[in-house]
Amino acid sequence: MSYVFKNRIQFNIARPIEKMSKKYDYYQTHYREYHQRTFSIDPSSYLEPFAGRLAPRCRILDIGCGSGRDLLWLKGKGFEVSGFESSPGLAGIARKMTECTVIEGDFELYDFSGLSTDAILASGSLVHLPHHRLSQVIQNFLKAIKNTQGSGKGPPDSDQPQAHLYISLKEGNGKWTDKKGRVFYLWQAEELNVIFGKLGFSVLEFSRTESAMGTGEIWLGYVLEKKADSTEFSGSFLQMKTNAL
């Protein structure tokens, strides 16, 4: 049995609830603090380049939506948005703040093939994911992308994009643990370029920006496009001054 929300994100309500991973415990217990620290930050510096690549009113799934800051921004631009969040506390705040559908689950375990969306936002949501699992998780996300027929962007056999994805990760080498006990896995742009190329993505926009939180950390941001027959990798560079994470 399936249920269709007003924003046309679909999922199977008979699917068992996935067990949450322990690596997200901080966001389970400190969700109010996280919301207060992040919700008021302006996300337009990275959402505008992403939104500019999408068809008007298309469906966007925000994976790791937190308390809904980016959902609210995208909804205000006329997109049909839904969220996915591992923390029940953050998911509850996001629903209250945005009135959007927010699914709760662990994105490593969840079966995204039951969803139907046109584009995916993964802003800062993969920073706790070990390096060797990144490709597999992105491929799991892509199960939610359905063909473009009926979305206003042309039939599935056209030259229109199969998928758009925004992803941001922290720059660095190896991993580090902050004072809150969160483990962050760091990346170099060259490493990510290889992974995205193997997955068939083209880089439409790339940014290397300092955190708006004032921590001095550098974020690597990518607007990616994948076509049904895409095997080539190419990109253009976009330098921004700030990142809203």
Q: Residue 190: inside a domain, yes or no?
A: yes
Residue 203 structure tokens: 């880089």
Calpha distance 217→243 (Å, rounded): 10
Query: For residue 119, what is the domain's CATH number?
Result: 3.40.50.150
Strand order in the sheet with 59-63: 102-104, 80-85, 59-63, 119-123, 163-170, 218-226, 201-210
Kindly report which listed range (56-60, 62-66, 181-185, 187-191) carries the lowest average pLDDT score.
181-185
What residue spans of 30-186 are helical by DSSP H?
A: 31-38, 44-51, 69-76, 88-98, 134-141
- The chain-wide mean pLDDT, for the chain, equals 80
| Whole-number pLDDT of residue 228 | 65
Neighbours of 234 (CB within 10 A): 11
Which residues, listed in sequence order, are joined to residue 184 by a DSSP beta bridge? 176
Calpha distance 217→168 (Å, rounded): 12
| Whole-number pLDDT of residue 28 | 77
Neighbours of 212 (CB within 10 A): 17
Q: Residue 114: inside a domain, yes or no?
A: yes
Q: How far is CA 28 from CA 8, 39, 66, 89, 124, in A?
A: 28, 17, 11, 6, 17
Q: Residue 122: inside a domain, yes or no?
A: yes
Calpha distance 189→126 (Å, rounded): 15
Q: How confident is the model at residue 190 (pLDDT cuts 50, 70, 90)?
A: very high
Kindly report which listed range (157-166, 209-218, 221-230) carries the lowest average pLDDT score.
157-166
Q: Residue 10: inside a domain, yes or no?
A: no
Question: Could you report the per-residue pLDDT of 98-115, keeping only the tens digit for each?
Answer: 999 999 999 999 999 999
pTM for the whole structure = 0.79
Residue 76 structure tokens: 């205000």
Domain that holds residue 52: 25-148+158-226
Q: Residue 116: inside a domain, yes or no?
A: yes
Q: Say yes or no to pLDDT of 150 above 80.
A: no
Neighbours of 138 (CB within 10 A): 21
Calpha distance 138→133 (Å, rounded): 9
Q: Residue 130: inside a domain, yes or no?
A: yes
- What phi and psi values does residue 179 have, to the nearest 5 degrees? -65, -20
Tally of structural domains, the chain: 1
Q: Say yes or no to pLDDT of 94 above 60.
A: yes
Residue 223 structure tokens: 């607007």
Kindly report which listed range (47-61, 112-126, 228-242) carries the lowest average pLDDT score.
228-242
- In the DSSP assignment, the letter for residue 19 is P
Q: Residue 34: inside a domain, yes or no?
A: yes
| Whole-number pLDDT of residue 234 | 36
Q: Is the model more confident about 19 or about 175?
A: 175
Q: Say yes or no to pLDDT of 18 above 80.
A: no
